């Protein structure tokens, strides 16, 4: 029995407002959970830590799926139309070779899965859930049941996104951006038969889930902080997650509305995005798909692009802001230094989020949108590099003069800074409208967002897993294996993605199944081959992570509450924390980054220590 | 170990710059430029390149150096500082000025290429009298010339597919349309890209400065055959353009008997 869960025990948040805390039923409910069986404890759990781990594991499973698709894409780009060795059984019709329609499906679903089923669930679902109550000293989320529902609405999302692979015509093949009319008209692509409907259903459910999560995160952070924990004493991870949740709250409804509109276009022929008088594959879509009596149209394909990017550009910051937060925390802890410029860090994250809402048009410079709009979007986009630059300088300032311990989480966090510099800087070219005329939809764009999301955010996720693993399972991950994992990942990530910049400068456009159909790209084959081999090595290298993760989960070195001598609140809880998280009363006296302070003998002061 | 990790971080700027220096040799740099505004775009790209390269090298070297220097074993504590207001001001103000400079330096070229009020008016072709209507569809390119009367949509219109013939050193305006889904008209050697949007007619202009045949690439995903939606732009002298138009007219209005069939 956990003492925290009993009403008699000194509750960490006795003076704090908590929804339902005054009702004895709520507390008894917590109490009951511990006596329930495996199913209620690990499957239908309302405990934020278990839900976080559920998001973590499903995210990692989809990461493998998305990664396998990336390997197939790379294979095709290096050796187009060659049969993939050993995969003839999967593609009996072609003897293992990738067909063009399969290729379009591959990159569509690679992007979709990596963004909506891996990165967002890992950053906000897994770490948002796991870290928020622990780092603010709360026993759980504000709405534990809503939290559970947030994970369980992912189940229909998983169902539809996997179902799409098995329907006639295959899964959606209109790119992860799903631009209509390609995605809405059935005769336009095989993936637009039923695959696209599965895609839209899957995405809508992910949106509903993220929405529930975001409401919960914001409420929890605002209402349930431990006494003395002011907003300006929050760890930057929490700021990152808080701002991310606000972005989701404001931007997600737009995407959800847009995907429902596209769904209606597809099933009811509403024609929001479909112009009149199309002739697709010698079929007039009006009569083909829906019956001539429902031949409505007069829609606007650009409308989808505006709505889609109104969400999906802020989504890019949803993919990176929590990662910035984790990196800040990990750098400070392992460099034994207070974060350099805490307030500028918070302000710059807020500025990224604010500006993030007025830059979506930079995805549409060549789309036929009014070019005068392009001018304003260029200025806002270029200026968003400013808060990013401030963050980089502050990270460097944090390292400066520190006493750095190069453990695995620190290595990945430093790599995040290094890779984010590349991904951030390459964005400036894309913001510049005349330059973007040339590089839009080329491999520079591919290099850019993989440096931000893969080399950046995923490295930050690795850092976070290594860093918070002891809190999750009470055991350390193996350092030697972690370092091996880091060295290979760092090298192969760069050999994979760096040369894509040059491919883009050479004009190679993305999403093409066979670049060598054009004379102008003939000379790029050797480089693509090099990139593909690097990508294979990088994928294979992750075995060190998988082995280390599962081995350490059961046989790793046991550790106490605070293996890194960190100062923030989660390290005050037992490792792993029981139901209700904290077993002693918390009162916060200072910020989370009091490292190397001359006031005390040790090199850190926990947030809870009174001096 | 700390040396290894610092060197790995240091390798990023070194190898990063090296691959750019090698780009010409590896043919991973811009294809030749044969349009009047392409040089400006390349120049703006290079302007950003120099500023970005400077920032990239300085920050990455600092990162590697700090990681190396401050990971040494030391008996004392780390520096205890929460930041510096002065430094924050400096590294906010300088990038802000640099970024605004980048943004404003782009505007003139963008306006020149894209704003309709700046489109060529005085030459043979203009928005009102385009050289042709370019139709994109899955997965081919069609080029409809207005014929002798200079008006599109009349009986003397001529049509070709896959090869767009234009005169050299002439301001060419064409109308870009799509029959089905979104496509994109991309000629790497012209530094020109414009999406073809179904339901819209988008005017585009360029001026090719060198005769030759250049790849016309579809740069917006348009379906399973996207990769093979390859056309070309044939830039010819003014005389040859006339000859080719005459030949096209003869072919288009031939009843098939002149060739003795």
| Whole-number Å distance between alpha carbons of A175 and A259 | 14
User: Residue A312: its pLDDT value, please?
Assistant: 93
User: Residue A290: its pLDDT value, please?
Assistant: 47
More confident residue, A280 or A228: A228
Residue A143 tokens, joined: 């709405």
- Asked if residue B258 has pLDDT above 70, the reply is no
Closest CA to A478 of A551, A417, A539, A587: A551
User: Residue A36: its pLDDT value, please?
Assistant: 67
Average pLDDT, rounded, for chain A: 90
pLDDT band at A179 (very low <50, low <70, confident <90, very high): very high
Among B26, B222, B230, the residue with its CB nearest the CB of A182 is: B222
The residue in chain B having the minimum alpha-carbon distance to the alpha carbon of residue A381 is: B103
Dihedral angle, C-alpha B136, B141, B147, B149, nearest 10 °: 10
Pairing of strands B231-236, B212-218: antiparallel
Question: Does B231 lie in the same domain as B136?
Answer: yes
H or E element in which residue B132 lies: strand B132-137
Q: What is the pLDDT of residues A255-300, one digit of tens each?
A: 999 999 999 988 888 889 988 777 787 766 654 444 433 455 678 9
- Tell me if chain A has a CB within 8 Å of the CB of B194: yes
User: Residue A288: its pLDDT value, please?
Assistant: 46
Question: Does B109 lie in the same domain as B145?
Answer: no
With contact defined as beta carbons under 8 Å apart, do A327 and A463 qualify?
yes
- Tell me if chain A has a CB within 8 Å of the CB of B107: yes
Contacts of B183 in chain A (CB under 8 A): none
Average pLDDT value for residue range A463-483: 97
Q: What is the pLDDT of residues A330-383, one digit of tens each?
A: 999 999 999 999 999 999 999 999 999 999 999 999 999 999 999 999 999 999
Cβ distance of B27 and A100 shorter than 8 Å: no
Question: Does B137 lie in the same domain as B107?
Answer: no
Q: What is the DSSP letter of A124?
A: I
Cβ distance of B103 and A383 shorter than 8 Å: yes
Contacts of B198 in chain A (CB under 8 A): 181, 275, 278, 301
- Tell me if chain A has a CB within 8 Å of the CB of B68: no
Residues in Cβ contact with A155 at an 8 Å cutoff, skipping those fewer than 6 apart: none
- Asked if residue A26 has pLDDT above 50, the reply is no
- Tell me if chain A has a CB within 8 Å of the CB of B82: yes
- Tell me if chain B has a CB within 8 Å of the CB of A104: yes
- Tell me if chain A has a CB within 8 Å of the CB of B106: yes
Pairing of strands B183-187, B192-196: antiparallel
Residues in Cβ contact with A239 at an 8 Å cutoff, skipping those fewer than 6 apart: A325, A345, A346, A349
User: Residue A284: its pLDDT value, please?
Assistant: 66
pLDDT band at B74 (very low <50, low <70, confident <90, very high): confident
Domain that holds residue B200: 132-252
With contact defined as beta carbons under 8 Å apart, do A50 and A152 qualify?
no
Judged by CB atoms within 8 Å, which residues 139-178 of B form the interface with A?
none
What is the total count of domains within chain B? 2
Q: What is the pLDDT of residues B114-143, one digit of tens each?
A: 999 999 998 899 999 999 999 999 999 999
Q: Which ipTM was obtained for this model?
A: 0.94
- Tell me if chain B has a CB within 8 Å of the CB of A610: no
How large a percentage of chain A has pLDDT more than 90? 82
Contacts of B20 in chain A (CB under 8 A): 502
Give the gap in angstroms from C-alpha B40 to the nearest C-alpha of chain A.
Answer: 9
Residues in Cβ contact with A543 at an 8 Å cutoff, skipping those fewer than 6 apart: none
pLDDT band at A3 (very low <50, low <70, confident <90, very high): very low
Any domain includes B80? no
Least confident segment among A10-24, A242-256, A468-482, B111-125: A10-24
| Whole-number Å distance between alpha carbons of A135 and B11 | 36
- Asked if residue A547 has pLDDT above 80, the reply is yes
Strand partners, B135: B142, B177
Closest CA to B46 of B13, B23, B63: B23
The residue in chain A having the minimum alpha-carbon distance to the alpha carbon of residue B186 is: A438
Q: Please give the domain boundaries of chain A with CATH numbers for all domains.
A: 3-572 (1.20.210.10)
Cβ distance of B193 and A437 shorter than 8 Å: yes
Any domain includes B168? yes
Cβ distance of B88 and A341 shorter than 8 Å: yes
Question: Does B142 lie in the same domain as B65?
Answer: no
* DSSP string covering A138-200: -SS-S-HHHHHHHHHTHHHHHHHHHHGGGSTT-B--STTTT-TTTTT-TTT-GGGTTHHHHHH
Is the CA virtual torsion A412, A418, A422, A423 positive or negative? positive
Closest CA to A509 of A366, A314, A382: A366
Quote the Cα angle for A313-A127-A588, to 5°: 115
Strand partners, B177: B135
Using CA atoms, how far residue A246 sits from A230, A239, A351, B243, in Å, is: 19, 11, 13, 64
| Whole-number Å distance between alpha carbons of A313 and A347 | 20
Q: What is the DSSP letter of B223?
A: S
User: Residue A42: its pLDDT value, please?
Assistant: 80
User: Residue A286: its pLDDT value, please?
Assistant: 53
H or E element in which residue A304 lies: helix A301-318
Chain A interface test: which of B60, B78, B138, B205 (most A C-beta within 10 Å): B78
Question: Does B142 lie in the same domain as B41?
Answer: no
Question: Does B148 lie in the same domain as B110?
Answer: no
Sheet of B192-196, strands arranged across: B163-167, B231-236, B212-218, B183-187, B192-196
Least confident segment among A152-161, A397-406, A460-469, B146-155: B146-155
With contact defined as beta carbons under 8 Å apart, do A107 and A73 qualify?
yes
Average pLDDT, rounded, for chain B: 93
Residue A169 tokens, joined: 């015509």
- Asked if residue A548 has pLDDT above 50, the reply is yes
User: Residue A2: its pLDDT value, please?
Assistant: 42
- Tell me if chain B has a CB within 8 Å of the CB of A605: no
- Chain-centre distance for alpha carbon A326: 13
Q: What is the largest CA-CA distance in chain A?
A: 82
N-to-C CA span, chain B? 82
Average pLDDT value for residue range A413-420: 97
pLDDT band at A88 (very low <50, low <70, confident <90, very high): confident
Average pLDDT value for residue range A156-173: 95
Dihedral angle, C-alpha A455, A456, A458, A463, nearest 10 °: 110
Contacts of A505 in chain B (CB under 8 A): 23, 28-30, 45
Pairing of strands B183-187, B231-236: unpaired
CATH code, B246:
2.60.40.420
Give the gap in angstroms from C-alpha B169 to the nearest C-alpha of chain A.
Answer: 21
Contacts of A434 in chain B (CB under 8 A): 37, 40-41, 44, 106, 109-110, 113
Give the gap in angstroms from C-alpha B225 to the nearest C-alpha of chain A.
Answer: 7
| Whole-number Å distance between alpha carbons of B163 and B165 | 6
Contacts of A171 in chain B (CB under 8 A): none
Instruction: Give A565: exposed, middle or buried? Use CB within 10 Å, 0-12, 13-18, 19+.
Output: middle
- Tell me if chain A has a CB within 8 Å of the CB of B91: yes
| Whole-number Å distance between alpha carbons of B129 and A567 | 71
pLDDT band at A89 (very low <50, low <70, confident <90, very high): confident
What percentage of chain A's residues is helix, strand, coil (to nearest 5)? 65, 0, 35
Is the CA virtual torsion A344, A349, A352, A357 positive or negative? negative
Any domain includes B119? no
Question: Does B141 lie in the same domain as B52?
Answer: no
Question: Does B102 lie in the same domain as B185?
Answer: no
Q: What is the pLDDT of residues A206-225, one digit of tens each?
A: 999 999 999 999 999 999 99
Give the gap in angstroms from C-alpha B250 to the nearest C-alpha of chain A.
Answer: 28
Chain B interface test: which of A109, A265, A341, A438 (most B C-beta within 10 Å): A438
- Asked if residue B7 has pLDDT above 50, the reply is yes
pLDDT band at B73 (very low <50, low <70, confident <90, very high): confident
Cβ distance of A438 and B189 shorter than 8 Å: no
N-to-C CA span, chain A? 33
User: Residue B259: its pLDDT value, please?
Assistant: 56
Using CA atoms, how far residue A49 sits from A60, A141, A482, in Å, is: 16, 10, 23
- Asked if residue A490 has pLDDT above 70, the reply is yes
Average pLDDT value for residue range A111-135: 96
Average pLDDT value for residue range B137-163: 92
Q: What is the pLDDT of residues A508-539, one digit of tens each?
A: 999 999 999 998 899 999 999 999 999 999 99
pLDDT band at A28 (very low <50, low <70, confident <90, very high): very low
Per DSSP (E only), the strands in B146-196 are 158-161, 163-167, 171-178, 183-187, 192-196
Question: Does B221 lie in the same domain as B146?
Answer: yes
Using DSSP's 3-state secondary structure scheme, residue B107 falls into helix
| Whole-number Å distance between alpha carbons of B25 and A526 | 13
Any domain includes B35? yes
- Tell me if chain A has a CB within 8 Å of the CB of B236: no
Residues in Cβ contact with B247 at an 8 Å cutoff, skipping those fewer than 6 apart: none
Contacts of A280 in chain B (CB under 8 A): 138, 179-181
Question: Does B169 lie in the same domain as B57?
Answer: no
Q: Which residue has the tokens 């300032």?
A: A397
Instruction: Give B213: exposed, middle or buried? Use CB within 10 Å, 0-12, 13-18, 19+.
Output: middle
- Asked if residue B30 has pLDDT above 60, the reply is yes
Stated length of chain A: 611
Question: Does B13 lie in the same domain as B44?
Answer: yes
The residue in chain A having the minimum alpha-carbon distance to the alpha carbon of residue B23 is: A502
Quote the Cα angle for A503-A510-B190, to 5°: 65
Using DSSP's 3-state secondary structure scheme, residue B28 falls into coil
Cβ distance of A596 and B88 shorter than 8 Å: no
Among A188, A433, A490, the residue with its CB nearest the CB of B110 is: A433
Q: Residues A547-563, buried b or exposed e (16+ Cβ, 10 A)? A: ebbeebeeebeebebbb
Question: Does B95 lie in the same domain as B189?
Answer: no
| Whole-number Å distance between alpha carbons of A148 and A141 | 10
Cβ distance of A279 and B180 shorter than 8 Å: yes
Bond preceding residue B139 cis, omega within 30 of 0: yes
Any domain includes B211? yes
Number of CB atoms found within 10 A of residue B196's CB = 28
The residue in chain A having the minimum alpha-carbon distance to the alpha carbon of residue B110 is: A434
Q: Which residue has the tokens 């037992």?
A: A574
pLDDT band at B76 (very low <50, low <70, confident <90, very high): confident
Any domain includes B159? yes
Packing angle of the helix pair A385-399, B85-114 (nearest 10 deg): 150
| Whole-number Å distance between alpha carbons of A50 and A126 | 9
Any domain includes B77? no
The residue in chain A having the minimum alpha-carbon distance to the alpha carbon of residue B92 is: A390
- Asked if residue B61 has pLDDT above 80, the reply is yes
Cβ distance of A414 and B109 shorter than 8 Å: no
Among A397, A400, A441, the residue with its CB nearest the CB of B219 is: A441
Any domain includes B56? yes
């Amino acid at each position: 029995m956990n003492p925290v869960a009993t009403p008699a025990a000194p509750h960490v948040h006795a003076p704090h407002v908590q929804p339902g805390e005054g009702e004895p039923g709520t507390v008894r409910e917590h109490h009951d959970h511990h006596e329930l069986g495996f199913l209620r404890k690990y499957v239908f759990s309302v405990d934020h830590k278990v839900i976080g781990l559920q998001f973590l594991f499903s995210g990692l499973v989809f990461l493998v799926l998305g990664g396998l698709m990336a390997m197939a894409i790379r294979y095709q780009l290096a050796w187009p139309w060659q049969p993939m060795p050993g995969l003839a059984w999967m593609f009996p019709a072609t003897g293992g070779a990738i067909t063009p329609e399969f290729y379009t499906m591959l990159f569509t679903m690679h992007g979709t899965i990596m963004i909506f089923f891996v990165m967002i669930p890992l950053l906000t679902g897994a770490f948002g859930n796991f870290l928020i109550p622990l780092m603010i000293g709360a026993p759980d989320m504000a709405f534990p049941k809503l939290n559970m529902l947030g994970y369980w609405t992912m189940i229909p999302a998983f169902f539809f996104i996997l179902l799409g692979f098995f329907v006639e015509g295959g899964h959606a093949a209109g790119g992860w951006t799903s631009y209509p009319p390609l995605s809405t008209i059935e005769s336009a692509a095989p993936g637009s038969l039923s695959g696209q409907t599965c895609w839209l259903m899957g995405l809508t459910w992910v949106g509903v889930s993220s929405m529930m999560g975001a409401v919960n995160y914001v409420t929890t952070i605002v209402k349930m902080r431990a006494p003395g924990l002011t907003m300006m004493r929050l760890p930057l991870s929490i700021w990152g997650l808080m701002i991310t949740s606000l972005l989701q709250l404001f931007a997600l409804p737009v995407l959800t509305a847009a995907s429902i509109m596209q769904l209606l276009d597809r099933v009811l022929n509403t024609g929001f995005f479909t112009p009149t008088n199309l002739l697709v594959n010698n079929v007039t879509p009006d009569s083909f798909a829906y019956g001539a009596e429902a031949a409505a149209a007069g829609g606007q394909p650009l409308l989808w692009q505006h709505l889609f990017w109104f969400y999906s550009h802020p989504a890019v910051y949803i993919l990176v802001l929590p990662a910035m937060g984790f990196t800040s925390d990990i750098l400070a802890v392992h460099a034994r230094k207070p974060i350099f410029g805490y307030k500028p860090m918070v302000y710059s994250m807020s500025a990224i989020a604010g500006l993030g809402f007025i830059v979506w048009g930079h995805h549409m410079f060549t789309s036929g949108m009014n070019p005068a709009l392009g001018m304003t979007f260029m200025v806002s986009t270029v200026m968003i590099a400013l808060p990013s630059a401030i963050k980089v300088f502050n990270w460097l300032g944090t390292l400066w003069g520190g006493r750095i311990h190069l453990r695995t989480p620190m290595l990945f966090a430093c790599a995040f800074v290094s890779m984010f510099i590349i991904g951030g800087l390459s964005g400036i070219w894309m913001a510049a409208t005349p330059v973007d005329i040339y590089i839009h939809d080329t491999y520079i764009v591919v290099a850019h967002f993989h440096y931000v999301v893969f080399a950046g955010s995923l490295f930050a996720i690795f850092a976070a897993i290594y860093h918070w693993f002891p809190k999750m399972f009470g055991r350390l991950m193996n350092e030697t294996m972690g370092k091996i994992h880091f060295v290979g990942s760092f090298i192969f990530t760069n050999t994979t993605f760096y040369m894509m910049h040059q491919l883009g400068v050479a004009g190679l456009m993305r999403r093409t199944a066979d670049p060598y159909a054009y004379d102008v790209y003939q000379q790029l084959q050797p480089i693509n081959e090099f990139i593909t081999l690097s990508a294979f090595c990088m994928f294979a290298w992750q075995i060190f992570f998988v082995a280390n993760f599962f081995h350490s989960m059961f046989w790793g070195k046991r550790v106490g509450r605070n293996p890194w001598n960190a100062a923030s609140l989660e390290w005050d809880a037992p490792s792993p924390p029981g139901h209700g998280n904290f077993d002693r009363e918390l009162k916060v006296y200072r910020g989370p980054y009091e490292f190397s302070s001359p006031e005390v003998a040790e090199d850190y002061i926990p947030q809870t220590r009174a001096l | 170990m700390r040396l290894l990790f610092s060197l790995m971080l240091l390798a990023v700027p070194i190898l990063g710059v090296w691959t750019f220096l090698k780009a010409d040799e590896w043919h991973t740099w811009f294809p030749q430029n044969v349009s009047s505004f392409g040089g400006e775009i390349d120049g703006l790209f290079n302007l950003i390149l120099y500023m970005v390269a400077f920032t990239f090298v300085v920050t990455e070297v600092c990162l590697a150096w700090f990681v190396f220097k401050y990971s040494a074993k030391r008996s004392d504590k780390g520096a205890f500082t929460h930041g510096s207001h002065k430094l924050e001001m400096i590294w906010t103000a300088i990038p802000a000025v640099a970024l605004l400079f980048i943004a404003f330096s782009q505007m003139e070229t963008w306006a020149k290429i894209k704003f309709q009020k700046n489109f060529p008016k005085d030459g043979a072709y203009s928005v009102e009298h385009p050289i042709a209507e370019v139709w994109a569809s899955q997965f081919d390119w069609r080029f409809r010339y207005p014929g002798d009367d200079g008006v599109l949509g009349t009986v003397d219109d001529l049509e070709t597919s896959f090869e767009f013939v234009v005169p050299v050193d002439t301001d060419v305006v064409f109308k870009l349309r799509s029959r089905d889904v979104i496509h994109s008209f991309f000629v790497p050697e012209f530094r020109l890209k414009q999406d073809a949007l179904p339901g819209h007619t988008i005017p585009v202009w360029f001026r090719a400065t060198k005769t030759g045949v250049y790849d016309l690439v579809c740069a917006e995903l348009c379906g399973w055959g996207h990769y093979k939606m390859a056309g070309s732009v044939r830039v010819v002298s003014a005389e040859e353009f006339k000859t080719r138009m005459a030949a096209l007219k003869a072919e288009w209005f031939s009843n098939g008997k002149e060739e003795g069939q």
